[in-house]
Chain A
Amino acid sequence: MIDGLLMLGGGLAHFMTPLSLFNIAWATLLGIVIGALPGLTATMGVALLVTLTYKMAPDQAILCLMCLYSGAIYGGSRTAILLSIPGTPASAATTLDGHPLALQGKAGTAMGLATTSSALGTMVGIIALALIAPLLAEAALKFGSYEFFWLALFGVIISGQLTAIDDPLKGYIAGILGLLVAMVGMETLHAYQRFTFGIPALGGGVDLIPAMVGAFGFAEILGVMKRKAQARIVTSGDRVIPRFRDVFAYKWTTLRSGLIGTFVGIVPGVGEDVGAWASYAAAKRTSKEAHLFGKGSQEGLIAAETGNSAVVPGAMIPTLTLALPGSASAAVLIAAMYIHGIRPGPLLMTENPEFLYQIVAILVFSTIAFTIFGLFLTKPLMTVLQVPRERLMAVVYVLCVVGSFAITQRLFDVYVMLFFGIVGFLLREMKYPMAPLVLGIILGDLLDLNLRRGLALTNGDPTPFFTRPISAVIWLIIVLTILMSIPPVNRFVRDLFTRNRGHASAKG
């Protein structure tokens, strides 16, 4: 415990240099702008910024990427409130109450509350990160090939299930497609080249960054340009800095939403949007002002914003300790960490324990930065929202090309970006979620290697995959998740529960 606090102090002190503070300021501000601009998402921003941080020192590079990530998730709320368009998918739930508040002439209040609740949500997540991550890392040291195989599968399945709630089948398909993409190239057990079709560039497999730039950058450009009209900004001149009692009045909603967001963040590949929806739903169920939800409820706005921001630190928990990305942006962060020679995973706490606390410190600093920018830079941020998309998207596409080229300097990666952009756009149009696809690409190798390594260790006997205690828990969860996504089974279980509850209330 004392060790942890000392290392946290060390982490905070580590970034108290002018260069770090400068990087925190511009990266967070850039994040807010990217988040606020509709069509530019956090994942896209992080994927494009990897190129720029390529030559930086590892700690500064991760600092910039994390600040951009957390700034962008917050920045999306601005657009949600003023334009009724979520700036990033994470703020979709914010539009429900944020925009009605703006229409009632309380745009300032809404922006202020969104800022403070984002900050508080991140803080709840940061505390959880500092407390849970070391414990999880220690537990993960006991994981072997068997457990890692199931964890990889669990990540893809749960992400498929929760990011496509209407239709889990499409989530699974996206996940499987991602895993299959990861099968291309040299496999690590016997060094055999799979599905390369004689193309030398495919030997190294499909790189994550160009694929992400395509699926989250180019596909997003296509999606934005497809739409016809641009929305009108609704604003008012009321006070932005919220009163203490307004924030304090919803302390339990804030805490609950923060915890829900953190938990959603921990679940692999399930990101900020689900965090916001889940805490919004929970707040609506327990709120005294449930009838106001969707019509400009401050509580609804607070729940959504706290929920999505808490996902950011929450997502770092599995990312750092298990190398399972907690969200799509975290997947890019993993790729960036590898580029800078940092290996996330169970050994991180043994090899590089300061790093975890540096991440905690970065998140604290970026929270302070976005709170200051959010409360005091209202006007300049408003002008950002008025940039016409035609002009913006042309420049963004150029950045997509540069971003996918720069890391390995191959034009092949630019073609990968184009391919994933077009396929990603078509899949999105048909309501396939992108997060499981990305998770599949990053976890495919882990899944393949650990399944076959496990089978090699036991000489072909699959029993340990099912009988080792942790393995058993994970595969049971996977089976239950899949079963529950089959409509007749789901209906049957739900009926069973409602009937039981009906009996109980009849008896009572």
Chain B
Amino acid sequence: MTTDETPIPSEDSPQPAMVRADLLTGLMLIVLGLAIVYASWTMDRLEVRRIQPLTAPGLVPGILAAALTLCGTILSFRSIRTPAPGGWRDLSAAVTSGAAGRALAVVVLALIYTLGLVGTLPFWAATGIFVFAFIMIFECWLATPRRPVMSSLPWALGLAVVTAIVITLVFERAFLVRLP
């Protein structure tokens, strides 16, 4: 369907960091695949129930895991064979970059909110704190250029209150959905 002229943005030579990331992923997929193959092989074959042996519950997961192992192997081999000068350095730079830091900050905030606050505090309070913290951290600390605290504060406070109230009311009253 596609030919050489297809305007899909593609790089002719793969990025070195990606090549190395592929190697790591490939190895992880091999381990995961083999683990599932083992688990499927040792899964109960329900012989007691006298089912047709080929309908054992482990059949499909086993086949899929074997396919995953194969794909992981191909991925790893391809990565080893592709020259990637400075690949490891680029990869570690990408992992420690500011962009990765910002993504990590979102994950940390999300984890604190979801695992810590929701359930211990009332939902509206947890939500308000999360929205406030999120906006303040990303506007006044992790942004370039940083915004002055005083200009973000009213927005962060206002949105936190509005979100907490509106979401709680809309879901619980209008749509009759229970909240965590």
Contacts and interface: CB of A to CB of B under 8 A. Distances in A.
A, B: real partners = yes
Interface of A: 51-52, 54-55, 93, 96, 162, 165-166, 169-170, 172-173, 176-177, 179-180, 183, 187, 189-190, 192, 194-195, 218, 221-223, 225-228, 277-278, 280-281, 284-285, 293-294, 388, 390-391, 393-395, 397-399, 401-402, 405-406, 409, 411, 414-415, 418, 421-422, 425, 430-431, 447-448, 451-453, 455-456, 459-460
B135 A390 contact: yes
Minimum-distance CB pairs A-B, first 5: A394-B134, A390-B138, A452-B55, A448-B60, A192-B57
Contacts of A165: 2, 6, 8, 10
Contacts of B167: 398-399, 402
B36 A180 contact: yes
B169 interface: no
Contact of A414 (B44, B65, B114, B138): B114
B107 A222 contact: yes
A225 B2 contact: no
B110 A418 contact: yes
A222 B74 CA distance: 29
B175 A395 contact: no
B38 interface: no
B161 interface: no
10 contacts: A169-B71, A190-B55, A277-B8, A281-B3, A393-B106, A394-B134, A395-B131, A397-B106, A398-B127, A460-B53
B34 interface: no
A379 B171 CA distance: 30
B177 interface: yes
Contacts of B150: none
A313 B74 CA distance: 37
Given A169-B78, A459-B52, 8 more contacts: A55-B175, A165-B2, A172-B67, A176-B71, A281-B5, A390-B138, A405-B179, A418-B110
Contact of B18 (A177, A394, A431): A431
Contacts of B58: 194
Nearest to A425: B103
B106 to A, nearest CB: 5
B149 interface: no
Contacts of A195: 36, 39, 61
Nearest to B110: A397
Nearest to B156: A391
A222 B18 contact: no
B58 to A, nearest CB: 8
Contacts of A218: 110
Contact of B1 (A162, A225, A395, A415): A162
A423 B39 CA distance: 22
B106 A418 contact: no
A405 B172 CA distance: 13
A55 B177 CA distance: 8
B46 interface: yes
B118 interface: yes
A394 B99 contact: no
B27 interface: no
A505 to B, nearest CB: 17
Nearest to A414: B114
Given A192-B57, A394-B134, A228 B6 contact: no
B7 A284 contact: yes
A456 B1 CA distance: 38
A451 B63 CA distance: 12
A455 B55 contact: yes
B125 interface: no
Contacts of B18: 430-431
A225 B138 contact: yes
B118 A414 contact: yes
B61 A451 contact: no
B159 interface: yes
A190 B46 contact: yes
Interface string B3-30: 1011110100000001001100100010
Contact of A411 (B49, B55, B57, B180): B180
A103 B144 CA distance: 26
Contacts of B98: 228
Interface in B85-124: 98-100, 102-103, 105-107, 110-111, 113-114, 118-119
B71 A394 contact: no
A494 B7 CA distance: 19
Contacts of B61: 180, 183, 194-195
Contact of B59 (A228, A395, A451): A451
A54 B60 contact: no
B163 A398 contact: yes
Contacts of A398: 127, 130-131, 163, 167
Contacts of A222: 103, 106-107
Contacts of B106: 221-222, 225, 393, 397
A190 B44 CA distance: 11
Contacts of B100: 226
A391 B100 CA distance: 20
Given A176-B67, A391-B135, A393-B134, A51 B175 contact: yes
A187 B40 CA distance: 13
A390 B110 contact: no
Contacts of A54: 175, 177
A430 B100 CA distance: 13
Nearest to A390: B138
Contact of A430 (B22, B119, B127, B177): B22
Nearest to B29: A173
A294 B36 CA distance: 47
Contact of A455 (B7, B10, B44, B54): B54
B75 A190 contact: no
A52 B175 contact: yes
A57 B98 CA distance: 47
